[in-house]
Structure 1
Amino acid sequence: MIIYNVTSNVDDSIHQQWLEWMMDKHVPDIMATGKFYKIKIVKVLGDEQHGGTTYSVQYTAENREKLDEYYRDHSPKLRGEMKQLFGDKVLQFRTELELVQEFKMV
């Protein structure tokens, strides 16, 4: 399992618009690619030193091949939409994570 994590710091001036767009448009568009089987949007807690609100969006793919297909076939268009709508009001960095082991209470 591969988790593609996108951390976004969202300027206060577009916060609500961005969050609604993520939930109503962007995440459904990404789910429609068929490359991820689970997506979580989580808010980073704590005092943001540089203002805005920070979110981690975690896109879970079955394997590396699915993530690579997403990068090749879908990512440029979807990233472009974000940039066109929000410009430099959303600052992002991306990481890839591989699940080693998950522990759960029964």
Structure 2
Amino acid sequence: MVIYNVTCNMASHLEEEWLEWIREHIAHVLGTGLFKDAKLTRVLVEEQDGSSTFSIQYKAISRETLETYYSNHAEALRKAGLDKWGNNVLSFRTELDVLDEYTVHTNLN
């Protein structure tokens, strides 16, 4: 399994508006049908300049579907972000190969 991770950094005064926008953007990415799910997380680091950093982790159905996303959807969806935010939001992307997954099952009785 592959996780497509997008990390975004912006000035803190943009955070509220960006969060509203990114939630809609995530729905568009998931709407491609090429990902199982997504997680929106705040990166817990105190930036010296007071900026905010977030990570969106999209769990790809397979390596092939991620390649299909790149070929058929990524350019337009990235352009939407650039058109909206320009250089006010800096993003970088990484791919993570999931080697193992572990779950703790607890009995809360």
TM-score (norm 2): 0.91
Could you tell me the TM-score, scaled by structure 1's length?
Answer: 0.94
Unmatched segments (≥5 aa) in structure 2: none
1:81-102 per-position Cα deviation (integer Å, ceiling 9, x unaligned): 0000001111111110011011
The answer to whether 1:2 aligns with 2:2 is: yes
Match of 2:31 in 1: 32
What one-letter code is carried by the residue in structure 2 that aligns with 1:30?
V
Higher mean Cα deviation, 74-83 or 43-52?
43-52
Distance apart, 1:13 and its partner CA: 3.1
- Report the equivalent of 1:16: 16
Measured against aligned partners, the alpha-carbon deviations of 1:52-77 in whole angstroms (never above 9, x if no partner) come to: 10001000012110000000100000
Q: What value does the CA root-mean-square deviation take over the aligned residues? A: 1.0
Amino acid at match of 1:20: E
Deviation at 1:50, TM superposition (A): 3.3
Aligned positions, number: 105
CA drift at 1:12: 2.1
- Aligned to 2:100, what secondary structure does the other structure show? coil
Shift of 1:104: 1.5
Instruction: Read off the aligned partner of 2:65 and give its amino acid letter.
Output: K
Query: After TM superposition, where is structure 1 displaced by more than 2 Å over at least 4 residues in a row?
Result: none
**Partner deviation per Cα, 1:25-75 (whole Å, 9 max, x = no partner):** 201111110011110000011211233100010000121100000001000
Q: Percent identity among equivalent residues?
A: 41
Computing the radius of gyration over CA atoms, which structure comes out larger, 1 or 2? Answer: 2
Alignment of 1:61 onto 2:60? yes
